[in-house]
Amino acid sequence: MQKNVSQSVIKRLPRYYRFLIDLEKNGVSRISSGGLAQKMGLTASQIRQDLNCFGGFGQQGYGYNVPELSSEIAEILGINRRVGAIIIGAGNLGRAISTHMSFEKLGFNLIGIFDKKEAITGQMVNGLPVRNISGLDEFCRSYKPKVAVLCIPQNQAEKTIKQLLKLGIKGFWNFSHYDFNEKFSDVPVENVHLSDSLMTFCYKIKENAEKN
Amino acid sequence: MQKNVSQSVIKRLPRYYRFLIDLEKNGVSRISSGGLAQKMGLTASQIRQDLNCFGGFGQQGYGYNVPELSSEIAEILGINRRVGAIIIGAGNLGRAISTHMSFEKLGFNLIGIFDKKEAITGQMVNGLPVRNISGLDEFCRSYKPKVAVLCIPQNQAEKTIKQLLKLGIKGFWNFSHYDFNEKFSDVPVENVHLSDSLMTFCYKIKENAEKN
DNA sequence: TAGATTGTTAATCGATTAACAATC
DNA sequence: TAGATTGTTAATCGATTAACAATC
């Protein structure tokens, strides 16, 4: 069924999902590749190609059933699960991520938050106590989280990553400036480089200003 | 000088910048495309192609001068400026962005934070008072911010965007789930879709688990 | 049945990689 | 000068778009 799926396709899946859920909420039960293409600013061809990487979800002469398709994509993404996750770093960013994200709706179960600062140990964040990083080993042996969200400074990243890998962590949602590429190129990582995004934004603004 | 620069190239610029600054900090004054390629996990060819979109910064037989190149890229990105920025939404995410990001080092000057909640009006966040959204018009007329960071829920986005456009805002760093594509396709936007990223991460984890 | 729209193959386009002459 | 490495052109690869037969 599943052909070789390119990174480009995978990156588009969450967006498809978002639009389909939105349609579903608005009571739309049926949509054609052309209709969805228009809404999303893509070509109908691309949508059909993308979806056909995973199977024939449509019907000739009819289009796609919205709830069916959205649930297929949820399945493909694997978000109907509850993979155990911990956040490392309970600074501004770590705390915001923990309260702002719907981990449970997106495939994860947030079970712990850690920081090295003694002062904030015990503080409650989104119903979870901030634990001291010194208890990380024991916690992992007991609760076996599978992934970690890195909200720590770059200079602490490498040491922490090594420790987490030893403790059975299988992937990283990386908000730090650390680049896994150099030393851990085979570990599954999804990077969120906010600084890069802000710089790209800066470029876009500048370009647009010069254009007009 | 500047050829048609593709999105792919632009997206890579901040990463080049990051690595070059890092090299600079470590006292490296000179690097070849091959050396940088190895560090970054790219091909030397790609690096030379990318940089040559903007000019010939290297020297045959020598390579690139690190501080010179990093400052060239800073120039290209436009981060040596101070474009006035405001944050809309002082929830967890808005507050984290305001304290966590080095706006001043990345081309911006954060001059205001707004929220519609009366209760938090006046609270200090990173040295700035949270202002009530009711004062947005007056603030913009006085201080003329050029860009806005959207940290508000999707359902308030459209109305707010329209208002901000009228007030002279020229671009959006968008953390909301709102999709500019449908109604504001010509406005400069840099999206940070954290949920999309988390879903992509979910897929990667699943893929990797199945592979092993 | 006729119309609509898919799944899929073929054509096009763009981005990446390879090659090499130019030159420091 | 000889060696190294760029800038740039050509070749390859992959992703997007177009086209159309299959079929609901």
Which pLDDT score is estimated for B146? 98
- Asked whether A204 and B18 are in contact (CB, 8 A), the reply is no
> Cα–Cα distances in Å, from B107 out to A200, B69, B145?
10, 18, 13
Per CATH, B7-76 and B82-195 having the same topology is answered: no
Measured CA to CA, the distance from residue B17 to residue B22 in angstroms comes to 8
Question: Nearest protein residue to C9's C1' (by CA)?
Answer: A49
pLDDT tens, residue by residue, B136-179: 999 999 999 999 999 999 999 999 999 999 999 999 999 999 99
CA-to-C1' span, B60 to D1 (A): 16
Measured CA to CA, the distance from residue B42 to residue B55 in angstroms comes to 20
Q: Measured between CB atoms, which of A177, A196, A203 is closest to B78?
A: A203
Question: What are the φ/ψ torsions at residue A112 (nearest 5 degrees)?
Answer: -165, 150
CB contact under 8 A, A171 and B15: no
The answer to whether A89 CB is within 7 Å of strand C is no
A182 vs chain B: nearest CA distance in angstroms?
6
Which pLDDT score is estimated for A34? 98
pLDDT tens, residue by residue, A153-178: 999 999 999 999 999 999 999 999 99
Half-sphere exposure of A134 (CA within 13 A, CB side): 4
- Give the DSSP letter string of A67-93: HHHHHHHHHHHT-SS-EEEEEE--SHH
> Cα–Cα distances in Å, from A200 out to A38, A178, A210?
26, 18, 15
Say if residue A22's pLDDT is above 90: yes
pLDDT tens, residue by residue, A136-155: 999 999 999 999 999 999 99
Question: Nearest protein residue to D22's C1' (by CA)?
Answer: A60
Q: A7-76 maps to which CATH number?
A: 1.10.10.10
H/E element, B128: strand B128-132
Helix, strand or coil, per DSSP, at residue A178: coil
Say if residue B1's pLDDT is above 70: no
- Asked whether B148 and B180 are in contact (CB, 8 A), the reply is no
pLDDT tens, residue by residue, B68-100: 999 999 999 999 999 999 999 999 999 999 999
Confidence of residue B210 (pLDDT cuts 50, 70, 90): confident
List, in sequence order, every residue forming a beta bridge with B118; answer none if it has no partner: none
> Can you give the residue ranges of every domain in chain A?
7-76, 82-195
- The DSSP call for residue A119 is G
Helix, strand or coil, per DSSP, at residue B138: helix
pLDDT tens, residue by residue, B192-208: 999 999 999 999 999 99
> Cα–Cα distances in Å, from A50 out to A40, A53, A54, A142, A152?
14, 6, 8, 41, 36
Subset of residues 24-83 in chain B with CB less than 7 angstroms from any atom in strand C: 42-43, 45-46, 48-49, 59-62
Taking residues A64-85, report their average pLDDT.
98
B107 Rama sector, left if φ>0, alpha if ψ -120 to 50, beta otherwise: left
Nucleotide nearest to A58 (CA to C1'): C6
Taking residues B36-54, report their average pLDDT.
97
Those residues whose C-beta lies under 8 Å from the C-beta of residue B108, and which sit 6 or more positions away, are A198, A202, B81, B82, B83, B84, B85, B147
List, in sequence order, every residue forming a beta bridge with B86; answer none if it has no partner: B112, B148
Residue A38 CB-density burial (10 A; 0-12 exposed, 13-18 middle, 19+ buried): middle
Question: What are the φ/ψ torsions at residue A41 (nearest 5 degrees)?
Answer: 75, 35
CB contact under 8 A, A173 and B201: yes
- Asked whether B53 and B115 are in contact (CB, 8 A), the reply is no
Helix, strand or coil, per DSSP, at residue A125: strand
Q: For tokens 């293409």, name the residue.
A: A37
Topology annotation, domain B82-195: Rossmann fold (3.40.50)
Q: What single-letter amino acid sits at A37? A: A
In degrees, rounded to 5, the angle at the alpha carbon of residue B205 between the alpha carbons of residues B203 and B210 is: 95
Tell me the average pLDDT of chain B: 96
